[in-house]
Amino acid sequence: MKKLLFSLAIATFFVNVLLAQEVDPKIVRLMDKVEAAKDKVSDADARLFSADSLMADGEKIKKDAEATLKELAQEKKDIERDYFNAKKPLERQLRSRDPEEAKEAKSQIREVETDYKLKDKEWNSKYREALRDYNSGGRQIDKGKGYLKKAKDKKKDTEGRLKIAEKALLDAQTKLEQEAKN
C-alpha cells in the first residue's frame, strides 16, 4: 500500500513537473537519495542471498562428510575383521610342533600384518580427509551465520534509510504542491 502511494505521489510529481517545466533541485536531490537507498537495499538482499548459499554449501559439505565417515567406520570394522580372521589360523599353525610349518606361519603372519598396516594407513588418510571436510563444512556454516547476521542488520538499516528518504521526498512534493496552489 505504501509503495503504491509512493509511486502515485512520484507520478503526480512528474506530471506537475512536466506541466510546469521546472524542477526543484531539492526534489531532484531527494529523488537521488531514494534511488541510492534502493540500490543499497538490493545490495543488502544480495548479501543475504550470499550468506544463505554459503550456509547451504557448508551444510552439504558437512552432510557428505558425515556419510563418508559412516562408510569409513564400516570399512575400519571390515579391515579389522579380515585381519583377525586371517591371523587366527596362522597363530594356530605357529603353535605347531613342526618347525617348518611354524616358520611358514610366522612369515605369513608378517605378510598379514604388513597388509593390515598398509590398509590401516590408507584408511587413516581417508579418515583425516573426511574429518577435514566435516570441519570445513562446519566452519563454512559458522561463517555464513556471521555474514547472515551482518546482512540482516545491514538490510534493516538500509530499509529504514529508504523509508526516511521516501518520506522526505513525499513531504517535499506535498510542500511544493501546496506552494503551487497558493
**% the chain with pLDDT above 70:** 87
pLDDT at 23 exceeding the cut of 70: no
CA distances for 129 relative to 17, 66, 117, 135, angstroms:
67, 12, 18, 10
For 69-106, write each residue's pLDDT tens digit. Answer: 999 999 999 999 999 999 999 888 888 788 888 888 88
Q: How confident is the model at residue 11 (pLDDT cuts 50, 70, 90)?
A: low
Which CATH number is 79's domain given? 1.10.287.620
CB 98 within 8 A of CB 76: no
pLDDT of amino acid 136:
95
Task: Give the chain's domain count.
Answer: 1
For 163-178, write each residue's pLDDT tens digit. Answer: 998 998 888 888 888 8
pLDDT at 147 exceeding the cut of 80: yes
Over residues 35-46, mean pLDDT = 92
CB 48 within 8 A of CB 151: yes
Is residue 169 packed enough to be buried (19+ CB in 10 Å), middle (13-18) or exposed (0-12)?
buried
Instruction: Of 7-16, 17-26, 64-73, give the lowest mean pLDDT range.
Output: 7-16
Q: How confident is the model at residue 180 (pLDDT cuts 50, 70, 90)?
A: confident
- State which residues form the domain around 170: 2-181
